[in-house]
Amino acid sequence: MAIKPILFNTEMVRAILDGRKSCTRRINKDANDYVVPDMDFFDPEKRTYAVHNYADKEHKIKLSIAERSCPICPGDILYVRESVFQGVAHCLDVSGETECVLTNDFEYYADGLHKKDHWKDKHENIWMHRRPSIHMPKEAARIWLKVTDARVERLQEITEVQAQAEGCNSGLLTGACTARGQFEDLWNSTVKKSDIDRYGWDANSYVWVIEFERCEKPKT
């Protein structure tokens, strides 16, 4: 078992908190037109799986098979990185100069309590500053997930039921009438414009499918 961070945007954090999301898909960067991932070779002890290397895009001429590390495996514990407000205390040091000190006061952007990026806490000497999810400290984690399954498949293999498990069953995005259509919009919104041809919905690339359930923070 490994303990690792995982990023979610605000809408997905809310979906997890509401119990609407129990799965996430992430780009498999080991795969491309000539490399096909294969979880039939998954080794839980070594945390590895296989990739098949081909000489052609039709995958008719196999060159070799190689071992790759799995980024997330069943049984792993994930702590969600989300956008937070962290307290900053402005106090005087021994020389009498103002010093800024990060505190362990945290509030969460997904809770929708605050709209400004900076605001003053009820404590007179503490200001709350917004930190993006990528910079959320581990001690601020409030959502812990246990991975129940991890597999590899093509992006467009997702079904309507699976799209609902991704949190796309409650009118999350406009313009799509089905959960699968909502997921297509959601997926493309998370891909950089420069990568859309390579990793966008139409590219139908290989992705990690990570299923999870809420769990308690592990004891250390």
The more confident residue out of 4 and 130 is 4
pLDDT at 94: 52
What mean pLDDT is predicted for residues 51-66? 96
Q: Does residue 16 surpass a pLDDT of 80?
A: yes
pLDDT at 118: 62
Q: Does residue 37 surpass a pLDDT of 60?
A: yes
Q: Does residue 173 surpass a pLDDT of 70?
A: no
When pLDDT is cut at 50, 70 and 90, the band that residue 86 belongs to is: confident
What mean pLDDT is predicted for residues 90-119? 71
Asked whether residue 116 is assigned to any structural domain, the reply reads: yes
The more confident residue out of 88 and 164 is 164
- CATH code of the domain containing 172: 2.30.130.30
Q: Which residue, 160, 212, 153, 206, is CA-closest to 184?
A: 160
Query: Phi and psi dihedrals of 128, rounded to 5?
Result: -100, 125
Percent of the chain with pLDDT over 70: 86
- 88 and 70, same structural domain? no
Q: Which residue, 63, 59, 68, 60, is CA-closest to 41?
A: 68
* Alpha helix ranges (H) inside the chain: 10-17, 160-165, 179-190, 196-199
The more confident residue out of 112 and 174 is 112
pLDDT at 141: 96
Which amino acid belongs to residue 4? Answer: K
- 187 and 105, same structural domain? no
pLDDT at 91: 60
The more confident residue out of 102 and 129 is 129
pLDDT at 105: 84
Contacts of 95 (CB under 8 A, 6+ apart): none
Q: Does residue 80 surpass a pLDDT of 60?
A: yes
Asked whether residue 100 is assigned to any structural domain, the reply reads: yes
**Full domain range(s) for residue 116:** 84-131
State the total domains in the chain: 2
Contacts of 188 (CB under 8 A, 6+ apart): 196, 200, 201
- 95 and 56, same structural domain? no
pLDDT at 102: 75
- 105 and 30, same structural domain? no
